[in-house]
Structure 1
Amino acid sequence: MSSETRESVHSGAPAVLHKPPPLTAKILYSIILYAGKSLAALSRGLQGLKEVIWPPNVRPDLIKTYQCRPHLPVRSVKPIISHRWIALRIFLPASHDASSPHVHPVLFVIVGGGWFMGYNKEHDEWNRAFAHTQSTIVIGLDHSKAPRTPFPGPVHDIEALMLAALADETIPIDRSSHYTTNRVAILGFASGGNLALAVSQLPSIHNHSLAPAAVMCVAGVLDLSITTERKLENRYYKPALKPSKRGGKDSLGPVMPALCWGYVPYGVDLCNPLLSPGYADLSMLPAHVCLVGAELDFLAHEAWRLACRLSREGAGVDHGTPDPESRETQWRIVGQEQVHSGNPLRGLGERVADERFAFEEHWQDGGVKWLLVLDVLHGFDNPFYREMDTHREDIRDAEVKTEAYMRELGTWLRERVWRL
């Protein structure tokens, strides 16, 4: 992104990409994208071979496909043989009885991966755990990938698949109209968080009789109007942490410009709320919004900014004004410089003077929740990335914090949003 020309987001004019980067940058970005795809395909092929020999313990209860997206077709029993993407992976609660007419709330979960590499199978572990612990149907969604399908293609893929699933009466979704709040929600990881907030604004979803009552965004990409170079200054780099987490580099930083180049067409307004949901109108989002950031992820700052803005606009409560260009460190950088200890989710269940780590506000029929997961990198909750870490202690730390924030989100969703 450094070689792209754009107008300043603070100038009052739309931030628009004016011209493509130099040829050398295009070549570099292409190498990054397609090398990433190749390595991911190899890894998944090896994983598929492993699963043929040792079937995984975590499997979806249903795998469904719909004619609305024939290019996302296919049920694959042997993943090593099929290179086609699976559309929906459906996890039912442990308490579900197929012989009973009982129905359940539903959470749609959108894959991450920078719009170009994610595979919804990567979230099977998270989806199964949430389905069982929260007695909720979890539906893993996929989409066509950049650069072949740039913005807004993936947004409309998710839209079509959500509408198809909501209309599919073979899925035991609670469609009752007796409640004041629909028992439907949507969550996305990373680029999937971007898509979750984007698709929630589309009229076909926003005005649907089963419109999501809540949207949850975990480590989402929310503002594409700001360059990666600037975003890298909005997080702390903690030398006191273990080698896998310290240093002056961000694991996502080197590849982010290539991801954006592959997804964002030239001439598009970078402040378009479907592309950069951090600019979305409060009225266009679901009534309840939850934003989760990873402290050692430069994307956390834009989630914090959105949470603070929604709190001011919805509840009239000012939690400060984070600004990526502020002269005050406390507003320019998310989190704190010191390594944390104790509660893995600081600020929950206690009154904390510094609300940069967690807050929750409510207003009539709506609310916003902000949660910063401490001392973790982008992708800490994804086993595919987490297991690349060679430090067993770090892996366990990420697992504990994943379980903690999942439990917190489940409680918020069931008790505050759905009022179960």
Structure 2
Amino acid sequence: MWRITLFFRNIYLRITVNLLRAVFKLTRPAPIPSQAHSTLNIPSRDVGRTITANLYTKDDPSPSLPQPVLINFHGSGMIFPAFGSDDEFCNHISQKTNYTIIDVKYRLSPENPFPAAVNDAEDVIRWVQGQPQKYDLTRLSISGFSSGGNLAIVTATAIMPKFTFRSVLTFYPGVDLASDPAGKFAPDTSAGKVIPARIARFFHRCYIPVGVDARDPRISPLFADLSGFGSKLLVVTAARDNMAPEAEQFVSLVKEQTGRGDDDVVLCRMEECEHGWDKTPSLGPVQEEAKWRAYLMARDMLRD
């Protein structure tokens, strides 16, 4: 009986997600041409499958090798096809630093639930590590937005060894998929739209298979052992985002468990900003300033 129930559950999730994706496509701003230098097809652990990624480099790249590299993961709620939505960030970082940027198109749920996206993230990282003549592994960093921020933190805390990454840069990440979203509240409730609890629960159902503990650190890094976290960390939250408190708690736990200070572990809350504010097509002056302040903080951490 449980198999029949699971079958119809999966059918429901897929139909609903396809409807949400259709709405997402209709309401999303028309995509601008990508500024990526080229497209990569990175080998996956799955025979015959590759992982698509966009490669960003300087317009006049330095001839010196190996190059520092930043691996980036876009936001998606783990279900939306938003690959390329970080194009402005990736191009900006590639032009203003010495870093090459690899922006990854990881698999989405419910077609490919946990651990598919995590496996893709790990496969890309190990592919980069396999090319020390091309990439400077002492300056390997990772970044992500929203669910992509979750993947960045997960790989740094629960997948890869302690000193794999020089810097971990995240923007409004979700780090606790185990707690009921109804109990999550934005620091600033005076205005703006938060992620409704029923929508967040649906995202979690799509991503986390039945029977899998959502407190698994590979899903919810808030519950990871952070005592061995050795990377520099940037976490940017939004005051009108009900996921902000968990990300800010994560930063506090990193400091508490590692004894590190504000120079290496940086938290910045952007006031008057909502979840994903930097991807909004028409930003107000406050949000526009916050976007470039966040990107500048990322640049500065990479340059250190």
TM range (shorter): 0.7 to 0.9
Q: Does 1:156 align with 2:119?
A: yes
**In structure 1, what is the equivalent of residue 41 of structure 2?**
65
2:207 corresponds in structure 1 to 263
CA distance in 2, matches of 1:377, 1:234: 9
Q: Over aligned residue pairs, what C-alpha RMSD do you find?
A: 2.9
List per-residue Cα deviations over 1:1-50 (Å, max 9, x = no partner).
xxxxxxxxxxxxxxxxxxx99x99x95x6564222222334567x946xx
Alignment match of 1:40 (pick from 24, 34, 42): 24
- Is 1:206 aligned to 2:161, yes or no? yes
Distance 1:202 1:271, change over 3 A: closer
Quote how far apart the aligned CAs of 1:251 are.
4.2
* Structure 1, unaligned runs of 5 or more: 1-19, 74-85, 176-181, 240-244, 317-359, 416-420
1:197 touches 1:285 (CA, 8 Å); kept in 2? no
Tell me whether 1:221 sits opposite 2:174 in the alignment. yes
Residue in 2 aligned with 1:375? 272
* Structure 1 residue 295: Cα displacement: 0.8
In 2: Cα distance, 1:267 partner to 1:59 partner: 42
1:92 aligns with 2:57: yes
> Which amino acid is the alignment partner of residue 89 of structure 1?
N
Residue in structure 2 matching 1:276, options 199, 203, 220: 220
Gaps in structure 2 of 5+ consecutive residues: none
Q: Return closer, same or farther for 1:30/1:395 CA change in 2, 3 Å cut-off.
A: farther
Shift of 1:65: 0.1
Aligned-partner SS, 1:87: strand
Superposition map of 1:358-369 within 5 A: 361=262, 367-369=264-266
Once the 2 structures are TM-superposed, how far is the Cα of residue 151 of structure 1 from its aligned partner? 1.0
CA distance in 1, matches of 2:142, 2:238: 19
Partner of 1:186 in structure 2?
Answer: 142
Instruction: Confirm or deny that 1:238 pairs with 2:182.
Output: no
The one-letter code matched in structure 2 to 1:304 is: E
Q: Calculate the TM-score normalised by the size of structure 1.
A: 0.64
Q: How many residues of Structure 1 are paired with residues of Structure 2 in the alignment? A: 298
Q: Indicate the residue corresponding to 1:173 in structure 2.
A: 135
Contact 2:14–2:110 under 8 Å retained in 1: no
Q: Shift of residue 216 of structure 1?
A: 2.0
CA distance in 2, matches of 1:185, 1:224: 24
* 1:109-134: CA deviation from partner (whole Å, max 9, x where unpaired): 11111111143211111100111122
Partner secondary structure for residue 85 of structure 2: helix
TM-score, normalisation: structure 2: 0.86
Q: Does 1:144 align with 2:107?
A: yes
The alpha carbon displacement at 1:71 in A equals 7.3
Q: Which has the higher strand share?
A: 2
Q: Shift in Å at residue 284 of structure 1? A: 4.5
**1:49-98 deviation line (CA, Å, top 9, x unaligned):** xx6xxxx3x4211211023267764xxxxxxxxxxxx711111134414x
Letter in 2 for 1:173: Y
1:402 alignment partner, SS class: helix
3-state SS of paired residue (1:220): coil
Q: 1:190, 1:259 → 2: CA distance? A: 13
1:183 is displaced (CA, Å) by 0.5
Measured in 1, the distance between the counterparts of 2:23 and 2:132 equals 38
Q: Distance in 2 between matches of 1:225 and 1:296?
A: 21
Alpha carbons 1:315, 1:361 under 8 Å: kept: no
Q: Contact (CA 8 Å) 1:32, 1:258: kept in 2 or not?
A: no
* 1:104 corresponds to 2:67: yes
Distance 1:268 1:206, change over 3 A: same
2:237 is aligned to 293
